[in-house]
Amino acid sequence: MAPTLPLVPSSSDVPHAATAASPAARLLSTLRDREEERARRLGGNAAASRSFPERATGYCGRRERDRQAGWIVAVASTRLRVHADTSSQAVAILDEVLARKGVPCKMANCVATAALYIARKLCEEGDETPETFLDLLGLEYSPNELRRMELVVLDVLEWDALLPSVERFASAQLQLLGYQWMLPYLRPSIEAVLVRGVTMREYRASSLALAVVSLYLERLVPHHWLQATHTICGMMKTEPSSLISVRESVSSLLPATAADYGHRNPYAPLLLTPDDSDEEEDRRAPPSSVYILKRLSQYVALLIESRARNGLAPPILPSTTVISLAAGPQ
């Protein structure tokens, strides 16, 4: 069932950017500064800060990283039923640990579990005991094993676990434009990016988030998405031209048409254990289980109906877009 969306006023029919002194702009600036700081700390260049080193045999590389990221995304939505900020934060923690320290494959899922446990505390203010948390996930680790791994992860992170993530950047960017209501509908796209280590390694979280946001703004408000994207780039001090390759990479991970929005997370049926090896075939289907256009069409229909009841004109939205949204997935 789609979440209930707040109605936006007529002034929000076209995205308007907040000022540089607004809370959203300050948050975006802070996240970008943290991202730059992380890049310097992990090798002095952007590529090193996002790498998942292919270490000796038996250690976690890109493919095992993708398996664990997919597992996090699957259990976060199906078993814990938490928001995308939790799964995105957990994947950010996992990637940070892998970038800083070699992790044996047999310990990869335990590290991923600890990352999700920490992220749930940070984002959901969850107060489950380790016993309850492990029971929710259906894992057989002992509570002491989870506690010990949690301390190991926090020690690697130097107790700074609230990292810039794709979801946090996307949230700040949408807030900057007054489009906060759009965030829940970007979840499948964000998750599709999170489970692809190649893409996460090649681009920064800020660029990936902006690519996801701009792709959906292009569908929702095709006459204004470019202006909104340039506004965000200005706030982040990023050249708009640098976004071209990121958009191409991200768009290749997302369904091309409304009819394709039924993709399931290929990792959802998996219950990985510390003994799982890195031998499974690479999985490429994006974990999209929500019909995005159908959800957006529900919002548009609700918005039009509400404005009609109040004697207001329909929102400024091209007729072709309204028809496309109303059609939803076939």
DSSP string, 155-174: HHTTT------HHHHHHHHH
Residue 59 per-residue DSSP state: B
Read off the pTM.
Answer: 0.71
Cβ 265 vs Cβ 289: under 8 Å? yes
pLDDT at 291: 38
How many CA atoms lie less than 13 Å away from 34 in the CB half-sphere? 18
pLDDT at 296: 53
pLDDT by residue for the chain (330 residues), tens only, comes to 334 333 333 334 445 555 656 787 888 888 888 888 877 776 644 444 445 555 557 888 888 999 999 999 999 988 998 999 999 999 999 999 998 888 999 999 999 999 999 999 999 876 789 999 999 999 999 999 999 999 999 999 999 898 999 999 999 999 988 888 888 889 989 999 999 888 888 899 999 999 999 998 888 888 888 888 888 888 888 888 888 888 988 988 875 433 333 333 444 333 333 334 343 333 333 333 333 455 455 555 656 666 666 666 665 654 444 444 444 444
| 302: exposed, middle or buried (Cβ count in 10 Å: 0-12, 13-18, 19+) | middle
CA distances from 92 to 65, 101, 107 (A): 11, 14, 17
What is the C-alpha separation between 69 and 265, in angstroms, rounded? 11
For residue 107, what are its two tokens?
Answer: 């310990």
Do the beta carbons of residue 80 and residue 86 sit within 8 Å?
yes
